[in-house]
């Protein structure tokens, strides 16, 4: 079992109490507003998505999509064909776990759970569970920047975790163009040196400077919701997977019946 810490307050405007050796970058009275851009995009294509999938995490890996879906009793880890939306492989979680975000590091999938304080490590190819880890507070989103695992818990805090021993090295507080905290940071994706984050309860994605926490751009994907079939359980946008080879994003939402491939055209 491996352990690491996470912020415990879902609506916290500051980092948790610092632990020895943990650096926190936070805003103070001298913080000035920053400039942001409204990102534009084009839809490359769309394909079916399982409307029973409460998408919590999405990663592009070896030409396929790895998806984590939530809700007690139906949480799962899936391997999805990015051309057809077909689920090629699926493993379920025990009924007490509500699955959340995922990331991949060294061919291992790291999957959070919401309130259980426990996460799981799988072999990325065969989905065999190889380890578990624990943390404090809620688990929301994960991504990997090539050095650290970045962790969100629904506050405006991003925690940098050293994979060696899973110790928290620092935390960064995310602020918008008006120097106001951006709460509800959810599913994460690290793209070309920048952090992209779904904002829960919205259909927007924030592009963030991962070192300063400044939001540098907003991507409003409300239009995509108009292109899906709205059902009783349809929820907000969630899920960002980046295909580096094609410079394209795969995006979907919780219980959406479609997934979209988009390209940023700013």
Phi, psi of 225, rounded to the nearest 5 degrees: -60, -30
How far is CA 156 from each of CA 174, 176, 218, rounded to the nearest angstrom? 5, 10, 16
266 or 78, higher pLDDT: 78
Mean pLDDT within 12-31: 41
How many whole angstroms from its chain centre is CA 93? 19
- The band of 233, judged by pLDDT with boundaries at 50, 70 and 90, is confident
Checking if the pLDDT of 140 tops 60, the result is yes
Give pLDDT, residue 9: 35
CATH 2.120.10.30 for domain 2-33+54-221, yes or no, is: yes
- The band of 260, judged by pLDDT with boundaries at 50, 70 and 90, is very high
How many whole angstroms from its chain centre is CA 10? 15
The 3-state DSSP class for residue 138 equals coil
How far is CA 210 from each of CA 100, 189, 205, 233, 251, rounded to the nearest angstrom? 21, 11, 14, 33, 21
Identify the weakest region by mean pLDDT among 14-18, 155-159, 227-231. 14-18
Identify the weakest region by mean pLDDT among 41-50, 56-65, 157-166, 233-242. 157-166
Phi, psi of 223, rounded to the nearest 5 degrees: -55, -35
> Distance between CA atoms of 39 and 220, rounded to whole angstroms?
8
Checking if the pLDDT of 17 tops 90, the result is no
| H or E element, residue 2 | strand 2-3
Give pLDDT, residue 55: 97
- Asked if residues 118 and 132 have their Cβ atoms less than 8 Å apart, the reply is yes
- The band of 21, judged by pLDDT with boundaries at 50, 70 and 90, is very low
Checking if the pLDDT of 208 tops 60, the result is yes
Beta bridge partner(s), residue 220: 204
Checking if the pLDDT of 19 tops 50, the result is no
For the chain, counts of helices (H) and of strands (E): 1, 23
Checking if the pLDDT of 132 tops 50, the result is yes
What integer best gives the mean pLDDT of the chain?
88
Task: State the pTM of this model.
Answer: 0.87
Residue 236: partners with Cβ closer than 8 Å, 6 or more residues away: 200, 201, 202, 203, 253, 254
What are the domain boundaries of the chain?
A: 2-33+54-221
> Distance between CA atoms of 85 and 59, rounded to whole angstroms?
14
Give pLDDT, residue 168: 85
How many whole angstroms from its chain centre is CA 1? 23
């Amino acid at each position: 079992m491996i352990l690491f810490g996470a912020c415990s307050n879902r609506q916290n405007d500051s980092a948790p109490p610092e632990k020895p050796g943990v650096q926190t970058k936070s805003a103070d009275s001298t913080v000035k507003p920053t400039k942001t851009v409204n990102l534009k995009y084009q839809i490359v294509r769309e394909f079916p998505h399982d409307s029973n999938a409460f998408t919590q995490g999405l990663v592009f890996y070896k030409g396929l999509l790895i998806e984590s879906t939530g809700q007690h009793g139906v949480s799962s880890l899936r391997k999805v064909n990015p051309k057809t939306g077909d689920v090629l492989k699926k493993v379920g979680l025990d009924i007490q776990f509500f699955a959340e975000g995922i990331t991949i590091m060294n061919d291992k999938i790291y999957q959070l759970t919401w309130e259980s304080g426990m996460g799981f490590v799988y072999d990325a190819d065969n989905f065999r569970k190889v380890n578990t880890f624990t943390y404090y507070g809620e688990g929301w989103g994960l991504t990997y920047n090539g050095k650290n695992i970045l962790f969100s818990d629904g506050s405006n805090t991003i925690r940098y975790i050293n994979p060696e021993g899973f110790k928290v090295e620092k935390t960064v507080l995310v602020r918008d163009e008006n120097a106001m905290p951006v709460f509800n940071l959810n599913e994460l994706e690290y793209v070309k040196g920048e952090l992209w984050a779904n904002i829960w309860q919205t259909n927007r994605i924030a592009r963030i400077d991962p070192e300063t926490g400044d939001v540098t751009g907003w991507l409003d994907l409300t239009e995509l919701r108009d292109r899906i079939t709205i059902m009783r359980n349809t929820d907000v946008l969630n899920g960002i997977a980046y295909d580096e080879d094609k410079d394209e994003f795969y995006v979907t939402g919780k219980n959406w019946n479609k997934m979209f491939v988009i390209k940023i055209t700013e």
